[in-house]
Amino acid sequence: MAKTDCFVFSLSVVILAIVSLVAEAGYYVCDPEAYAKQGLDITEFAFCDDNLPYTERVKDLVDRMTVSEKIQNLGNRAKGVPRLGLKPYQWWSEALHGISSQGTGGVWFDSVVPGATSFPQVILTTATFNESLWKAIGETVSTEGRAMYNLKHAGITYWSPVINVVRDPRWGRTLETPGEDPFVVGRYAVNFVRGMQDVEGTQHIKDLDSRPLKVSACCKHMAAYDVEGWNGTTRFVFNSKVTQQDMVETFLRPFEMCVKEGEVSAVMCSYNKINGVPSCANPVLLNETVRNAWNLHGYIVADCDAVEEMKKHQNYMDYTPEETAAAALSAGLDLDCEDWRTYHSYYQDHLESATKQGLVREEDIDRSLTYLYTVQMRLGYFDGDTPFERLGKDDICTDQHVEMAADAARQGIVLLKNNDEALPLNPYFVKNIALIGPHGNASSAMLGNYAGTPCRLKTPLDGLSAYANVTFAKGCWNILCHDQGLFKPALEAAKSADATVLLVGLDNSVENEDLDRTNLLLPSNQAELINQVAKVSRGPVIVVIMSAGGVDISFALNNKAVHAIIWAGYPGEQGGRAIADVVFGAYNPGGRLPVTWYPNDYVNQIPMTSMRLRPIDQLGYPGRTHRFYTGPTVFPFGYGLSYTKFRHSIKLHKKALSVKINLPTHVHCRDLQYAGHKPTCPAVMVDDIHCHKNFKFDVVVANIGGRDGSQVVIVYSKPPAGIVGANVKQVIGFKRVFVPAGGRRTLRFQFNVCKALGIVDYKSSMLLASGQHTIIVGDQGNSFPLRVNLSF
């Protein structure tokens, strides 16, 4: 008896301890104590009754609110409803590559939370082509976000990731994106979103109105937005003229994957107009496509201050402010993000008078609120009963998280040139290094934009110093490198060192949000610095480039005195360590370029504002991206070397070379434009057939070199020859695999015929063409034909 008492006693002490921890944790709405303090009886509020389904609770809440209260909750700075016990909520937090303090107040760092793990910028993380890493980063970022929320330093609704396809190499926001291939971008979105949102053990819940969320992610910016400012056109007024074909095939595809496969809980519309209609007032885009056709379960938010821009700079349809706000709401825009300069939200300022003028249906307001509160319920914001209540300071910037940031950078780094196996440097022989260049001691520059305060920065100087004695000479005052005043000490250092490492490239002063590049070159004197240093260096010369967009470094590629070139993106807080690990061979690089690197002349061939992806012969425009551009490149999409050698062989399964699809009699053949011979039945509409046909094959990756390493295998499909306007090739799958020296690994690839071979015609229909397709495996020239027979 006594023993049991004692047990009960100690158990209740533990429970008390847990309860008090929970009470310390982040705010949640339905806290009985908080209601009691306010003199309210919580049992009178059905929206706090956790026995009821979310749908009923949300309806109860919305029905209690006045129109004015409702409207004050449609801005990112939601005012709450004090009389109902609902506190204000800041919807805007950012987590592009780690919890970020960008924006107006969702996240902040101070002595309580001094920093959060800053992963490489997305463009470098994409270069890993490692889907499990993309997801793991999402999981880690959301764990830190939850911990910061509990410490009242962050929200639980994050407006990340950015999944715009990089259409033009000048685009200033390339660093934030997963590159130029819509399928790769879409897979990044799906993995990152699932990493952020999924709560372990609940993924099986089918009903997306009740499935728990760890944090809410948001795919942005929809759509056809990738001009910051070019020749006088800013992103705030840019009218993106797109064909329906490009829309379906390229600009919308990652968003569709994000919503349908990632089951994201928010989508953001962009500033630009699409064919004359602002994205955030476009009912076809928002309501018909995202909400209805893709079945979004979540909310649609405007880029910050996109609604105001419709009036201020676009003067769309000459609308009044009220008409503007009403147009956005009735197009399906749920939440308005304020003007970050004035803290004013157009919805909060103008929707009430719009309602009084009869321009708005209360039903539409209620529906938007329902989406918003349902997301908050799924987040546990009302009940505070999530598995994350106990996360705190010890879960941020852990050694494991920081190590993952280093590992992501190592996995992403791309080896572009390695003459005479100059790399890796052997630390046994290379005792001292000349480290030269404006990025030699790069710190916050490694984070790119949308960063927070990092936990532990490791600059290239720090990283290389772990391997050798380093003499550091900047060579240029900054990235712009306007003069050669600092060249002399750099040349001196190179003359006596065992090896020279040059750290050059771009930073936010050259490519950033609101800042496109005007050329694809290294800024002013950087190339001269490299050439002069290479000429006098005693040891091998290694050039490391930090940038997001491709840089035309043909000069260094052709210069025999430059032995090796590495691209390091913006490698995050541990970037310097990752670079050193690659340079000295502790890690064998396996990253691949997620964008085409064009020659500089590309910018003279096509205006940035031309959105078309296919070449336009009459205007002399080359195509865009590896799917349509066939001109010369500095490096093609998917390029990347290793310190070891791999050999691929394809093992085809029985009947792998031909797919026969019997068409039911009610299905009709669809036409395709052909240059030359056209098959009798050129194509069939994918939606017309139940397309369950798969094809599969194995790729055996043999490591025939002397070092362990990781290999990325990218699989492309190429439509039958002669189809007018078809892509050159498109990515349909990829895998990254580690293979020890002398070993081999077998990768199984399996594809649905229609998904992998489908092409979008000029009328924007998804078609399966008959005839001989080609499957291209990796960049070693391996391919095999795949014949599609359509017959009745």
3-state secondary structure of 401: helix
**Residue 68 or 132: which CB sits closer to ligand NAG?**
132
Lookup result for tokens 């023993």: 3
Give the up-direction half-sphere exposure of residue 101: CA atoms within 13 A in the CB hemisphere.
12
| Region at 725 (left for phi over 0; alpha for psi -120 to 50; beta for the rest) | left
Q: Which of 66, 68, 132, 780 binds ligand NAG (CB under 6 A)?
A: 132
| Total residues belonging to the chain | 792
Minimum distance of ligand NAG from residue 581's CB (angstroms) = 14
CA distances from 352 to 139, 282, 402 (A): 40, 21, 47
Q: Which of 38, 43, 292, 658 binds ligand NAG (CB under 6 A)?
A: 292
Contacts to ligand NAG from residues 653-712, by CB under 6 A: 710
The full DSSP string for 143-170 is HHHHHHHHTTSS-SBB---B-----STT
Pairing mode of beta strands 277-278, 273-274: antiparallel
The full DSSP string for 542-580 is EEEEE-SS----HHHHH-TT--EEEE--S--TTHHHHHH
**Residue 252 or 445: which CB sits closer to ligand NAG?**
445
Contacts to ligand NAG from residues 487-506, by CB under 6 A: none
Minimum distance of ligand NAG from residue 158's CB (angstroms) = 20
Count H helices, E strands: the chain? 22, 28
**Sheet holding 744-752: strands in order across?**
646-652, 694-703, 744-752
Give Cβ neighbours of residue 568 (< 8 Å, ≥ 6 apart): 124, 409, 412, 413, 505, 544, 545, 546, 575, 578, 579
Cis amide linkage into residue 424, ω under 30° from 0: yes
Question: Does residue 613 contact residue 624 with C-beta atoms inside 8 Å?
Answer: yes
303 is catalytic: yes
Q: Which of 43, 68, 203, 231 binds ligand NAG (CB under 6 A)?
A: 231
Cβ atoms within 10 A of the Cβ of 594, count? 29
Encoded one letter per residue, x for contact with ligand NAG by CB under 6 A and - for no contact, window 363-392 reads -x--x-------------------------
Minimum distance of ligand NAG from residue 784's CB (angstroms) = 24
Question: Does residue 325 contact residue 291 with C-beta atoms inside 8 Å?
Answer: no
* Of the candidates 609, 600, 605, 729, the residue with the CA atom closest to the CA atom of residue 182: 729
Q: Which of 39, 232, 664, 676 binds ligand NAG (CB under 6 A)?
A: 232
Instruction: Give strand ranges (E) for 610-765.
Output: 646-652, 658-662, 669-670, 683-685, 694-703, 709-718, 730-739, 744-752, 759-760
**Residue 584 or 629: which CB sits closer to ligand NAG?**
584
**Residue 51 or 604: which CB sits closer to ligand NAG?**
604
Token digits of residue 621: 């425009």
Does position 265 bind ligand NAG by CB under 6 A? Answer: no
Minimum distance of ligand NAG from residue 215's CB (angstroms) = 19
Question: Does residue 728 contact residue 718 with C-beta atoms inside 8 Å?
Answer: yes
Minimum distance of ligand NAG from residue 36's CB (angstroms) = 38
**Residue 350 or 729: which CB sits closer to ligand NAG?**
350
Q: Which of 66, 203, 295, 469 binds ligand NAG (CB under 6 A)?
A: 469
Minimum distance of ligand NAG from residue 517's CB (angstroms) = 15
Cis amide linkage into residue 580, ω under 30° from 0: no
Name the strand (E) or helix (H) holding 414: strand 414-418
Minimum distance of ligand NAG from residue 333's CB (angstroms) = 8
> How many chain residues bind ligand NAG (CB under 6 A)?
26
Pairing mode of beta strands 669-670, 683-685: antiparallel
Minimum distance of ligand NAG from residue 518's CB (angstroms) = 11
Contacts to ligand NAG from residues 571-610, by CB under 6 A: 607
Rounded CA-CA distance 189/162 in Å is: 8
Phi then psi dihedrals of residue 396, to 5 deg: -110, 140
Q: Which stretch binds ligand NAG (CB under 6 A): 128-136, 310-318, 500-508, 554-562?
A: 128-136
Q: Which of 468, 470, 501, 613 binds ligand NAG (CB under 6 A)?
A: 468
**Residue 178 or 380: which CB sits closer to ligand NAG?**
178
**Residue 405 or 753: which CB sits closer to ligand NAG?**
405
Cβ atoms within 10 A of the Cβ of 502, count? 29
Contacts to ligand NAG from residues 303-362, by CB under 6 A: 330, 332
Minimum distance of ligand NAG from residue 427's CB (angstroms) = 7
The full DSSP string for 240-268 is E---HHHIIIIISHHHHHHHHTT--SEEE
Contacts to ligand NAG from residues 401-460, by CB under 6 A: 411, 431, 441, 443, 459
Does position 133 bind ligand NAG by CB under 6 A? Answer: yes
Q: Which of 737, 754, 756, 760 binds ligand NAG (CB under 6 A)?
A: 737
Minimum distance of ligand NAG from residue 572's CB (angstroms) = 15
Q: Which stretch binds ligand NAG (CB under 6 A): 100-108, 126-134, 385-393, 701-709?
A: 126-134
Q: Which stretch binds ligand NAG (CB under 6 A): 131-139, 219-227, 753-761, 768-776?
A: 131-139
Lookup result for tokens 């920081």: 402
Question: Does residue 255 contact residue 247 with C-beta atoms inside 8 Å?
Answer: no
Does position 486 bind ligand NAG by CB under 6 A? Answer: no
Minimum distance of ligand NAG from residue 757's CB (angstroms) = 27
Q: Which stretch binds ligand NAG (CB under 6 A): 125-133, 195-203, 296-304, 314-322?
A: 125-133
Q: Indicate the Cα dihedral angle 382, 384, 386, 389, nearest 10°.
A: 140
Q: Which stretch binds ligand NAG (CB under 6 A): 64-72, 414-422, 670-678, 734-742?
A: 734-742
**Residue 270 or 411: which CB sits closer to ligand NAG?**
411
**Residue 438 or 679: which CB sits closer to ligand NAG?**
438
Q: Which of 181, 226, 246, 303 is catalytic?
A: 303
Q: Which of 272, 287, 559, 717 binds ligand NAG (CB under 6 A)?
A: 287
Three-point CA angle 237, 242, 246, nearest 5° = 140
Q: Which stretch binds ligand NAG (CB under 6 A): 129-137, 238-246, 259-267, 776-784?
A: 129-137
Q: Which of 183, 388, 472, 628 binds ligand NAG (CB under 6 A)?
A: 472
Minimum distance of ligand NAG from residue 85's CB (angstroms) = 28
**Residue 497 or 769: which CB sits closer to ligand NAG?**
497
Minimum distance of ligand NAG from residue 604's CB (angstroms) = 8
3-state secondary structure of 620: coil
* Of the candidates 221, 206, 198, the residue with the CA atom closest to the CA atom of residue 138: 198
Phi then psi dihedrals of residue 684, to 5 deg: -135, 150
**Residue 102 or 459: which CB sits closer to ligand NAG?**
459
**Residue 40 or 486: which CB sits closer to ligand NAG?**
486
**Residue 32 or 740: which CB sits closer to ligand NAG?**
740
Give Cβ neighbours of residue 494 (< 8 Å, ≥ 6 apart): 434, 436, 500, 533, 536, 537, 538, 541
Q: Which stretch binds ligand NAG (CB under 6 A): 130-138, 477-485, 630-638, 740-748?
A: 130-138
Residues at the interface with ligand NAG (CB under 6 A): 130, 132-133, 136, 231-232, 287, 292, 330, 332, 364, 367, 411, 431, 441, 443, 459, 461, 468-469, 472, 607, 710, 736-738
The set of catalytic residues is 303
